Chain A
Amino acid sequence: MKFAILVNEGPYQHQAADTAFNFTKAALEKGHEIVRVFFYHDGVNNGTRLTTPPQDDRNIVNLWSELAKEHDLDLVVCVAAAQRRGIVDEDEAKRHGKDANNIAEGFRISGLGQLIEMGIKADRLMAFGD
């Protein structure tokens, strides 16, 4: 079965990011396909590589990056939500004259159309948020 995952909250602030990650991992382990993981609202904060949690805590950003690498996942950060919250990749940084970018490995920035598209392509869309 094809699942699409929507993550609407940032890591640490709300458990939604952890739940979404655990669900995604369990679905993959059961042999399901993950069409895409889309990060919206404060969920875009899952995609900044500048995240530095204390050493005795999980690093949610790295967990996503590693899972994406292992399973070739498509992790998409919404561009409009990302711009509001200061998540940028190299292209976005250039376009808006910013002096740095902070997108984490395995994530890409794209439009909201990717959210609708994954809803069309997947058998089930799972929303995780506050």
Chain B
Amino acid sequence: MLHTINKSPFEKNSLDTCLRLAKPGSEILLLEDGVYAAVKGTAVEQKMVQALGDYTVYALGPDLKARGIEEDRLIDGVEVVGYDGFVDLAANSDRVQSWL
């Protein structure tokens, strides 16, 4: 199952709720302001490192780029995908939950 998060973890609780309710083995895609959760050295880094043990975490490349986030600033293990990768993730999951 694919979960998407488009909220900054510093503003909304979408990341927390997703991590609470997503089953281990799920895919999580960070997009829009959600990509800030993928960055190293933030207050949510530890939470994300832990999440990477249970989930495959992706960040949407165009949204990272728009926000000036270089890929070497990302937490190890976070995979970067484009819109085509987003489509593949959605197509390959049985269902999609967008934590709007």
Contact = CB atoms under 8 A, between A and B. Distances in A.
Interface of A: 1, 3, 8, 15-16, 19, 22-23, 25-27, 29-30, 32, 123-130
Interface string B64-100: 0000000000000000001110111011010110101
B49 to A, nearest CB: 26
B87 A16 contact: no
Contact of A19 (B6, B90, B91): B6
A129 B87 contact: no
Given A23-B86, A23-B87, A27-B87, A130 B100 contact: yes
Contacts of A25: 83
18 contacts: A3-B90, A15-B6, A15-B32, A15-B33, A19-B6, A19-B32, A22-B62, A23-B87, A25-B83, A26-B87, A29-B84, A30-B84, A30-B88, A124-B91, A125-B96, A127-B96, A127-B100, A130-B100
Task: Give chain A's interface secondary structure class.
Answer: mixed
A129 B91 contact: no
Candidate in A19, A29, A123 with the most chain B CB atoms within 10 angstroms? A19
A32 B98 contact: no
A126 B95 contact: no
B28 interface: no
B57 interface: no
Nearest to A30: B87
B83 to A, nearest CB: 4
B84 A124 contact: no
